[in-house]
Amino acid sequence: MSELINSSLRELSAALAAKKVSAVELAALFLDRIERLNPGLNAFIALDRDKTLAQAQAADETRRVGAGAPAISPLCGIPLAHKDIFCTRGWRTSCGSKMLENFVAPYDAHVVEKLAGAGMVMLGKLNMDEFAMGSSNESSYFGPVKNPWDISCVPGGSSGGSAAAIAARLTPAATGTDTGGSIRQPAALCGLTGLKPTYGAVSRYGMIAFASSLDQAGPMAKSAEDCALLLNAMAGFDARDSTSLERPAEDYTRDLDQPAALQGLRIGLPREFFGAGMDEDVRAAVEAALAEYRKLGATTVEVQLPNSGLSVPAYYVIAPAEASSNLSRFDGVRYGYRAPDYADLAEMYSRSRAQGFGAEVKRRILIGTYVLSHGYYDAYYLQAQKIRRLIAADFKAAFQQCDVIMGPTSPSVAFAFGAKSADPVQMYLSDIYTISTNLAGLPGMSLPCGFGRNNMPVGLQIIGNLFDEARMLNVAHKYQQVTDWHTRMPEGLK
Ligand code: GLN
Question: What is the SS3 assignment for 54-92?
Answer: HHHHHHHHHHHHCCCCCCCCCCCCCEEEEECCECCCCCE
425-444 b/e (C-beta count within 10 Å ≥ 16 → b)? eebbbbbbbbbbbbbbbbbb
Q: How far is the CA of 273 from the centre of ligand 1 (A)?
A: 19
- Looking at residue 69, its pLDDT comes to 65
Report DSSP letters for 93-145, one per residue. --TTSGGGTT-B-SS--HHHHHHHHTT-EEEEEE--SGGG--SSSTT-TT-PP
Question: Quick one: average pLDDT of 403-425?
Answer: 95
Alpha-carbon gap, residue 169 to 494, rounded angstroms: 9
pLDDT per position as a tens digit, 327-382: 999 999 999 999 999 999 999 999 999 999 999 999 999 999 999 999 999 999 99
Out of 129, 195, 207, 461, mutate this one to test ligand 1's pocket (max ligand atoms within 8 Å of CB): namely 129
CB-count burial class (<10 Å; 0-12, 13-18, 19+) for 275 = exposed
- Looking at residue 285, its pLDDT comes to 98
> CB neighbours (10 Å) of residue 250?
15
Confidence of residue 260 (pLDDT cuts 50, 70, 90): low
Confidence of residue 61 (pLDDT cuts 50, 70, 90): very high
Q: Whose CA is nearest to atom 5 of ligand 1?
A: 180
Question: Quick one: average pLDDT of 180-206?
Answer: 98
Q: Whose CA is nearest to atom 4 of ligand 1?
A: 134
The ligand 1 atom nearest the CA atom of 360: 4
182 is catalytic: yes
Query: Is the model's pLDDT at 259 over the cut of 90?
Result: no
Question: Quick one: average pLDDT of 308-330?
Answer: 97
Alpha-carbon gap, residue 83 to 213, rounded angstroms: 19
Domain range annotation of the chain: 130-221+229-264+402-493
Helical pair 359-372 and 311-326, crossing angle rounded to 10 deg: 100
- Looking at residue 250, its pLDDT comes to 95
Beta carbon of 181 within 6 Å of any ligand 1 atom: yes
Question: Quick one: average pLDDT of 49-56?
Answer: 98
| DSSP bridge partners of 135 | none
104-142 b/e (C-beta count within 10 Å ≥ 16 → b)? ebeebbbbbbbbbebbbbbbbbbbbbbbbbbbbbbbbbb
Alpha-carbon gap, residue 127 to 47, rounded angstroms: 12
**C-alpha of 206 from chain center:** 16
- Looking at residue 68, its pLDDT comes to 61
The ligand 1 atom nearest the CA atom of 135: 1
Alpha-carbon gap, residue 319 to 67, rounded angstroms: 47
Beta carbon of 180 within 6 Å of any ligand 1 atom: yes
Confidence of residue 167 (pLDDT cuts 50, 70, 90): very high
In the chain, what percentage of residues exceed pLDDT 90? 93
Confidence of residue 440 (pLDDT cuts 50, 70, 90): very high
Q: How far is the CA of 222 from the centre of ligand 1 (A)?
A: 22
Which one is catalytic: 73, 162, 182, 352? 182
- Looking at residue 253, its pLDDT comes to 96
- Looking at residue 312, its pLDDT comes to 96
Query: Is the model's pLDDT at 67 over the cut of 80?
Result: no
Question: Quick one: average pLDDT of 261-266?
Answer: 90
Query: Is the model's pLDDT at 267 over the cut of 90?
Result: yes
Instruction: Give the strand order in the sheet containing 173-177.
Output: 44-46, 121-126, 79-83, 173-177, 217-221, 193-196, 444-451, 457-464, 404-408, 266-270, 299-303
DSSP 8-state secondary structure symbol assigned to residue 256 = T
Q: How far is the CA of 52 from the centre of ligand 1 (A)?
A: 30
Question: Quick one: average pLDDT of 274-285?
Answer: 94
Q: Which fold has domain 130-221+229-264+402-493?
A: Amidase signature (AS) enzymes (3.90.1300)
Out of 97, 128, 129, 158, mutate this one to test ligand 1's pocket (max ligand atoms within 8 Å of CB): namely 158
CB-count burial class (<10 Å; 0-12, 13-18, 19+) for 350 = middle
Confidence of residue 257 (pLDDT cuts 50, 70, 90): confident
Beta carbon of 42 within 6 Å of any ligand 1 atom: no
Out of 175, 431, 432, 461, mutate this one to test ligand 1's pocket (max ligand atoms within 8 Å of CB): namely 431
| Dihedral-angle region of residue 27 (phi above 0 means left; psi in -120 to 50 means alpha; beta otherwise) | alpha
Beta carbon of 236 within 6 Å of any ligand 1 atom: no
- Give the DSSP H or E segment for 31: helix 23-41
- Give the DSSP H or E segment for 52: helix 49-65
pLDDT per position as a tens digit, 95-152: 999 999 999 999 999 999 999 999 999 999 999 999 999 999 999 999 999 999 999 9
- Looking at residue 361, its pLDDT comes to 98
Which one is catalytic: 8, 22, 73, 83? 83
- Averaged pLDDT of the chain: 96
Confidence of residue 71 (pLDDT cuts 50, 70, 90): confident
Is 275 or 47 the better-scoring residue by pLDDT?
A: 47
- Looking at residue 426, its pLDDT comes to 87
Q: How far is the CA of 428 from the centre of ligand 1 (A)?
A: 8
| Interacting residues of 39 by C-beta distance below 8 A, sequence separation 6+ | none
Nearest alpha-carbon partner for 278 in 156, 410, 190 = 410
Q: What radius of gyration do the chain's Cα atoms show?
A: 21
Report DSSP letters for 337-397, one per residue. ---S--SSHHHHHHHHHHHHS-HHHHHHHHHHHHHHSTTTIIIIIIHHHHHHHHHHHHHHH
CB 37 within 8 A of CB 493: yes
CB 184 within 8 A of CB 218: no
Beta carbon of 77 within 6 Å of any ligand 1 atom: no
Most distant CA pair in the chain: distance in Å? 70
Confidence of residue 276 (pLDDT cuts 50, 70, 90): confident
User: Could you tell me the pTM of the whole model?
Assistant: 0.97
